[in-house]
């Protein structure tokens, strides 16, 4: 099981441009039901699209529904445990709530987080693939 950061999910759904060879390999290796997506990423995609910061080929609702139905994709539910964990991340200066939820989800499910975010990649308390 792997967890995709929002931008990796968007890159992957748009043909893979922007994903490193290591990230593409991790996605391929987990294609049989092990590609985790957080509901926070759905929120982030919809928010970015509504603000004009992300261009999608369809309405955000339709894009999300299609992307979540992709083979291998599993929704990693947002649980109270993950919500609490997002507030207790040791030594993390990152204030972006979406990223905090993604890190917490990765930690709770003990799976690597695929990201390009340098703050997350340098955070020693979560496994990442950059």
Here the tokens at position 114 are 């695929």
Q: What's the pLDDT score for residue 49?
A: 97
125 CB contacts (<8 Å, ≥6 apart)? 89, 90, 91, 92, 103, 107
Q: What is the DSSP-derived secondary structure letter of residue 129?
A: E
HSE-up of 112 (CA within 13 Å, CB side)? 15
Q: Report the pLDDT value the prediction gives residue 77, as an integer from 0 to 100.
A: 95
pLDDT attached to residue 59: 95
Q: What is the pLDDT of residue 114?
A: 97
pLDDT of residue 16: 86
Residue ranges of the domains in the chain?
Answer: 2-129
The pLDDT assigned to 105 comes to: 98
pLDDT at 93: 81
**Beta pairing, strands 113-114 & 2-4:** parallel
pLDDT of residue 51: 97
Instruction: Return the CATH superfamily for domain 2-129.
Output: 5'-nuclease (3.40.50.1010)
In order along its 130 residues, the chain shows pLDDT tens digits of 999 999 999 999 999 889 999 999 999 999 998 999 999 999 999 999 999 999 999 999 999 999 999 999 999 999 999 999 999 999 998 789 999 999 999 999 999 999 999 999 999 999 999 9
């Amino acid at each position: 099981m792997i967890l995709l950061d929002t931008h990796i999910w968007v890159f992957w759904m748009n043909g893979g441009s922007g994903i490193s060879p290591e990230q593409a390999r991790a996605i391929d290796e987990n294609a049989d039901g092990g590609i985790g997506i957080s509901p926070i990423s759905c929120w982030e995609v919809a928010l970015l699209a509504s603000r004009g910061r992300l261009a999608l080929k369809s309405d955000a609702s339709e894009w999300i529904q299609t992307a979540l139905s992709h083979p291998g994709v599993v929704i990693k539910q947002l649980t109270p445990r993950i919500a609490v964990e997002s507030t207790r991340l040791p030594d993390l200066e990152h204030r972006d709530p979406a990223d905090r939820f993604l890190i917490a989800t990765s930690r709770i499910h003990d799976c690597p987080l695929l990201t390009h975010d340098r703050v997350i990649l340098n955070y020693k308390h979560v496994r990442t693939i950059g």
